[in-house]
Amino acid sequence: MDIGCSHFLVRISDGATFMDALSKARKKSEQRNAEKYMVIIPQVVRRLEGNDFKIPPATTQDLREFGQEYFTSKDQHEEYQYFAKYDMADLMYVFNSKEINFYPNILVIQKSLKNEGLFSIFTHVYGKIQTNKNDNVQEVNVWNGSHFRDDCNGGIVKDTKELSCFFSNKMSDLNGEPMVFATFNYPPYSVLEYNVSGNIENFEDGIEMRIAILLAQRMNFTWSLYVDAENFWGEIWDNGSGNGMLGAVSSEKADLAFAAIYLWEHEHDFVDYSETYVRSGITVLAPHPLPLPQWITPLLPFSKSLWIAVFIGVFLAAIALFTLARIHKYINISKEPADRYCDPSECLLRAIGLLALAPDPTPPPDSQTGLRQLLLVWLPVWGLLLATAYSAGLSSALAIPHSQPPIDTISQLAESQLPWAATHPAWAFSLRGATDPIHRTLLNNFKVMNEKELHAHSMGRSIAYAVERLPAGNFAVGSYLQGKALEHLRLMHEDLYYEYVVTALQKSSPLRPPLDSLVGRLCAAGIPLYWEGAVSRRFPIMGAKYVGRKLPTPAPTALTIRVLQGPFYLLCIGLTLSLLIFIGEQIYKPKN
């Protein structure tokens, strides 16, 4: 099976062993071919009857013939007569094994016991195991081996020439065969309404539920629900068993499962996936950014890098003033006293004063060098440009409220070290095996909590909440996020990751080809997008409208003392430092 074969010719001597081995091979095979064609030729020697039960080794090959025949062989010059009898029990076991439901295209050839040279071709009626074993067996045709070369039909007794008569499409009409759907209430994918006693009421809806119901109508089978509300998606263990809806499919308790199942690698070793039909983006609802404290308002007009550039510029301007003053002192021939720019502190204060549009009120002497005069002309221009830019930014910072940087990208979420949480580990299944540091950090920060714990944290700022973003603009939001809790949360613009939604089926399930065909036709017509909107309008999710809402643009506000507390803080700090320095100078000033 692992080499991709789709047609098999099998000769078996033990039907029970063959079906058990076939079941194990199907579950362990990496190839997923749901359309396999198999012809079984049973070996017929099951019981030997004769004068002596000591069968010489040379006679065993002679006994491998169809039907009931007598054989004669000699052993040590003595003649023995044996009777080979075919046992029908093995044939019936093949048809009544549970594994037969994974192979609708199977034929078993048996030699007729009444007519010499005739071989009956049997198949099975697809479906669950019948109470009466004979109800599963159906004769397709009869082949006459003696007329094989003379007959234009190749020995086929019944008038047919098409292969479809041997391998008919048994999946087109299942005649009300019962199937089991594994799912849980997860709007808008699957919507289940519960009554007061906790039982599911008599209606179901959802994007994926509609696909499954339409498949049941097209294939004419009945269905029931398998709901594991505690384990949600569940998990599959290494031995193939598990819990939740994925575990139900892998352990063959359910025929298919749906409710936002993605293309998970580990689970694919135990189940099959259908064609994809919905793109889902996983993002988070993070706490709203806090407003910045008003005392840092004077720092808002410039960014951090620009402030660094301004400080470097002031420092370089002070160095230039001091250097040119020292050069002028040594090259000046006259006996002029040294000017104030020979003092480093004076140079630094003059450079800072340029930012406040406070140039030197004393003009430089006429004996200044040309380079120094040029510097003293351009430094005020530089200060004017910076002061104008700062004034414009300050007016905006005072009028419009500012907040801390929001979490809009996965890198910002990783850098914030803010945990993000959901009700099941399946929300992080797609991040398993990630190698880049950002996604590894996100995987380590993921937390699993129950709905009560998530609701208890919803009014705080300790975690972010995982939600799904659907193609038509709708969101899948947990019921634990409602009302005022959503007013404190903000949707992250970037997706953590995106996946494609599929239906999980049993491995090599014959339901997959008709399901894939149906999904392809629905997606070509855009039906899943229409159903997304229809289900979301019929069953509005509490809080989904808050998640997808556009945040209002901050509007200008009136200036208050609270807004201007930053400049007043600077004034108080400056006056305090000036007073302390003045007192210190008076105390430690040396006496003349």
- Torsion-angle region of 369 (φ positive above 0: left; ψ -120 to 50: alpha; else: beta): beta
pLDDT band at 517 (very low <50, low <70, confident <90, very high): very high
Same domain, 160 and 16: yes
Does residue 369 register a pLDDT over 70?
no
pLDDT at site 143? 73
- From the list 399, 302, 305, 400, the residue with the least C-alpha distance to 355 is 302
Higher-confidence position of 91 and 487: 487
Instruction: Assess if residue 475 is contained within a domain.
Output: no
DSSP string, 516-575: HHHHHHHHHTTHHHHHHHHHHHHSPPTTHHHHTPPPPPPPP----TTTTHHHHHHHHHHH
* pLDDT more than 70, % of the chain: 75
Instruction: Assess if residue 523 is contained within a domain.
Output: no
| Most confident among 28-42, 280-294, 492-506 (mean pLDDT) | 492-506
Instruction: Assess if residue 539 is contained within a domain.
Output: no
Does residue 65 register a pLDDT over 50?
no
Instruction: Assess if residue 345 is contained within a domain.
Output: yes
- From the list 236, 241, 242, 212, the residue with the least C-alpha distance to 224 is 212
Contact 203, 179 (CB under 8 A): no
Domain count, the chain: 2
pLDDT band at 351 (very low <50, low <70, confident <90, very high): confident
Mean pLDDT along residues 310-337: 76
pLDDT band at 324 (very low <50, low <70, confident <90, very high): confident
pLDDT at site 180? 95
Does residue 373 register a pLDDT over 80?
no
Higher-confidence position of 376 and 270: 270
Higher-confidence position of 556 and 229: 229
Instruction: Assess if residue 351 is contained within a domain.
Output: yes
Instruction: Assess if residue 363 is contained within a domain.
Output: yes
Does residue 196 register a pLDDT over 70?
no
Instruction: Assess if residue 92 is contained within a domain.
Output: yes
Could you say which of 401, 424, 445 is where a domain stops?
A: 401
Compute the mean pLDDT over every residue in the chain, rounded to the nearest whole number. Answer: 79
pLDDT band at 323 (very low <50, low <70, confident <90, very high): confident
pLDDT at site 260? 95
Contact 508, 6 (CB under 8 A): no
Mean pLDDT along residues 579-583: 88
Q: Which residues of 558-573 are buried (b: 16+ CB within 10 A; e: fewer)?
A: eeeeebeebeeeeeee
Pick from 59-63, 226-230, 247-251: least confident:
59-63
pLDDT at site 526? 94
Cβ neighbours of residue 438 closer than 8 Å, sequence gap 6 or more: 410, 411, 414
Residue 331's domain comprises 301-401
Q: How far apart are CA 436 and CA 439, in angstroms?
A: 6
Higher-confidence position of 197 and 405: 405
Which residues lie across from 221 on neighbouring strands? 177
Tell me the pLDDT tens digit for each residue of 553-574. Answer: 666 666 677 777 777 888 888 8
Does residue 380 register a pLDDT over 60?
yes
Pick from 59-73, 144-158, 429-443: least confident:
59-73
pLDDT at site 268? 93
Q: How far apart are CA 132 and CA 284, in angstroms?
A: 56
Question: What phi and psi values does residue 47 have, to the nearest 5 degrees?
Answer: -150, 135
* pLDDT more than 90, % of the chain: 32
Could you say which of 401, 436, 469 is where a domain stops?
A: 401
pLDDT at site 321? 82
Domain with 318 in it: what CATH number? 1.10.287
Q: Which residue has the tokens 């800072």?
A: 352
Higher-confidence position of 171 and 517: 517
Could you say which of 401, 429, 455 is where a domain stops?
A: 401
Does residue 179 register a pLDDT over 90?
yes
Instruction: Assess if residue 34 is contained within a domain.
Output: yes
**How much is the pTM?**
0.75
Does residue 75 register a pLDDT over 70?
no
Does residue 124 register a pLDDT over 70?
yes
pLDDT band at 78 (very low <50, low <70, confident <90, very high): very low
Pick from 5-19, 72-86, 132-146, 236-250: least confident:
72-86
Which residues lie across from 138 on neighbouring strands? 123
Same domain, 11 and 160: yes
CA-based torsion, 529, 535, 540, 542: positive or negative? negative
Same domain, 309 and 161: no
DSSP string, 295-345: GGGGGTTS-HHHHHHHHHHHHHHHHHHHHHHHHHHHH--S-PPPPGGGSHH
* β-pairing verdict for 420-422 and 464-469: parallel
Mean pLDDT along residues 203-231: 92
